[in-house]
Chains A and B, each alone.
Chain A
C-alpha cells in the first residue's frame, strides 16, 4: 500500500533520502515542538551558531560590496544578544522552541511598524531569521544548494523552474505537493529523466532524511525502502518493422537535452523551446547573443529537422526582460505568441537570430513555429513574418481549440501543425494546469482530447499538412501508439523519453496503431481508454 499517491513521472522506481526544501514546513515545526526545555535551549544555541556561520560564509563568498554590507548588517542583527535573550526568556516561560522564536521575532517586528518603509522592510529580515533559525534548529540547510553526493529525493510544495535547473545528479527523485501531470515540475523532471510523483497533496508526513521509495509507474510514494521490480517494456518483445510509420523526435530546451536526444537515434528535434534559455535574463538578448546561444544548442542536436518555437512566455512563465505584469489569470492572458505581438522588436530579432542559425548550419533543416495561435488572422500574420525573414518551412501550434476549425483555411505558406497536448487539454477542459484539484481533467487519455486530435488529423489530411504532437502525451509509450493510429505523423517527446519513442517507432505497424486508436476513442473515460490500450499491447497483464 502506498503511503502517498500522486501523478507519476517516468517509469523506473527509485529510492533515496528525503530532502525537504520548503522553508516553512509544518513537519519541521512539529518535530521541534516536543523538545524539552533543556533540549530547546541547546538546539537554539546550535541554531544561532549555524546561522551565524552561514552568514559569515556568505559574506566571505560575496564579491559584491553592497551585498557584503547588507549581509554584515544582517549578521549584526542576528547575533544581537537581545534576540537570543528574548527567545530564551520565552522558553523559560514554557514556550516550545518554534513558538519562542516566533514570539520574539513578532515582538521586535511589531516595534518596527509605523515609522517608515525603510524600517518596516527590516521585518522581512526578521522573518528570514525566524525561518533560518527554525531550519537550523531542525538540522536542515537553508540554501537551495542540492547535495552533490548521495542519493536524494527532493520533497517540496512545488519546484520553480529556476530551482529545478540547479538539480544535481545526486537527486534521484522528486515529490511535490502541488502540480499535475503537465505542471512545469512534471515536464522538467521528465526532461531530466528524474522520476517524480507530483500533486501528492499532503506531504507533511515525510520527515527530512528518511528513506523514500518512488514508484512512478503506479504514482506511489512509499515511506522506507520497498523493493520494486522494473519490468522489461512491452515493446521489447515485438518484431522490428521494415516500414517506419512515424518520426520519433525529441524536445530540446538546453544543450544537455540536445546531447540526450542525439544519443537516442531520434531523427530530429520536434520542439526547440527558446524561452527556457532566457528565464533569468533581466536584459533583452541581442540578435548576436541569441545567435550564439541557439547555435550552441543546434550544434549538439541530431542532424535532420529542427523545429524552433518562438518565445513561449507569459506571466506564469515570466521572463524578466519582457517586464510582463501580473495577471489575474495568466493561462488566459498575454501568453505564447501574444507576448511576441506586444514585443514586436524582440519577435523580429528572434526571427533574425534563428534565421542566421539556419543559414550558418545548412546540415540542419530548420523550421519555425508559433505557440498559442488562436485565430486565422494570427496564423497569417505569423507566417508572413516568417516568410519575410526567409523561412521556408513554417508551422503553428494547435493549443487553442478555436483554431481547430480554421485548419482548412490556413494560408498555403503554413506546412505543418504541432499539437501541444498540455495546453490543448487545459483550454479544452477549462482546467488549470497548475491546479492539482483538476488534474484528472488534464489526463491526456481523456477521450474528448483524443477525438479532438483525430479531428485535427482529418482536417489536415485534406490540406496535406503534416501533424506532429510535441506535448507530454508523446512521452507516454502507450499513448504514442494511439496518437499514431489517429493519424499523427511525428511525435516529439521530452529528452528523457525519446529513446523509448525511437524503440517504438521501430516495432509499430499501422494495424496495431489503428486498433489502439479505435479502442481509446471508444472508451467511456480516460482510465478505461488507458486500460483498454494497455490490455491490447501488454496482453499478459
Chain B
C-alpha cells in the first residue's frame, strides 16, 4: 500500500498504525520487501523503516482469517491516508 500522509510513516501515524496492528490478535509485519519485515505493532520499529511520503510498503497479516486480514489492512491503509 502507498503511504500518502505528508510526513511519511512518522511519529503520530506510526503510533496509530501500531495501535491497529496490536489489536489484530495475530502478528502483522511491515517492510519494503519480504526479507525486510518488522513488527507493525512496534512504533519504534516502524519509525526505523524511515518510510517517506509516496513510498510503497508491504504489509503481511500472519493469519488464515481473510475477512479479518482485509479489515485490518483497510484500517491500516486509512491511517496512512493523506
- Residues of chain A touching chain B, judged by Cβ–Cβ distance below 8 Å, are 69-70, 72-74, 76-77, 80-83, 108, 111-112, 114-116, 118-119, 122, 125
Contacts and interface: CB of A to CB of B under 8 A. Distances in A.
A72 B15 contact: yes
B12 to A, nearest CB: 5
A288 to B, nearest CB: 40
Interface string B28-57: 000000000001001111011010100000
Contacts of B10: 118-119, 122
Interface of B: 7-8, 10-12, 14-15, 18-19, 39, 42-45, 47-48, 50, 52
B15 A115 contact: no
B74 to A, nearest CB: 21
Contacts of B43: 73, 76-77, 80
Contacts of A82: 39, 42, 44-45
Nearest to A108: B44
B44 A73 contact: no
Contact of A80 (B8, B44, B50): B44
Contacts of A77: 11, 15, 43-44, 47
A74 B11 CA distance: 8
**Which of B7, B8, B12, B48: most chain A CB closer than 10 A?**
B48
A114 B52 CA distance: 12
- The B contact surface, by secondary structure, is helix
Nearest to B51: A115
Contact of B7 (A70, A118, A125): A118
A77 B43 CA distance: 6
Contacts of B18: 76, 80
A83 B44 contact: yes
Contacts of A69: 12
Contacts of A72: 12, 15
The 6 closest A-B pairs by CB, nearest first: A115-B50, A111-B48, A76-B15, A73-B11, A82-B42, A80-B44
A74 B12 CA distance: 9
A108 B15 contact: no
A122 B42 contact: no
A69 B45 CA distance: 20
A116 B39 CA distance: 22
Contacts of B45: 80, 82
19 contacts: A70-B12, A73-B12, A73-B14, A73-B15, A73-B43, A74-B11, A76-B14, A76-B19, A76-B43, A77-B43, A80-B18, A80-B44, A80-B45, A82-B42, A83-B44, A112-B47, A112-B48, A118-B7, A122-B11
A111 B50 CA distance: 9
Given A80-B42, A118-B7, A108 B12 contact: no
Contacts of A114: 50
B19 A112 contact: no
Contacts of A112: 47-48, 50
Contacts of A73: 11-12, 14-15, 43
A529 B7 CA distance: 66
A119 B19 contact: no
A236 B50 CA distance: 72
Contacts of B47: 77, 108, 112, 119, 122
B42 A81 contact: yes
B42 A119 contact: no
A52 B79 CA distance: 24
Contacts of A116: 8, 50, 52
Contacts of B48: 108, 111-112
Nearest to A114: B50
Contacts of B50: 111-112, 114-116, 119
B56 to A, nearest CB: 16
B32 to A, nearest CB: 12
Contacts of A119: 8, 10, 47, 50
Contacts of A83: 44
A72 B43 CA distance: 12
Nearest to B38: A82
Interface centre among A70, A72, A77, A112 (most CB of B within 10 A): A77
Nearest to A81: B42
Contacts of B42: 80-82
Nearest to A111: B48
A76 B13 CA distance: 11
A69 B13 CA distance: 11
A82 B47 CA distance: 12
B46 to A, nearest CB: 9
Given A72-B15, A83-B44, A122-B10, 4 more contacts: A76-B43, A77-B43, A77-B47, A116-B50
A113 B18 CA distance: 21
Contacts of A80: 18, 42-45
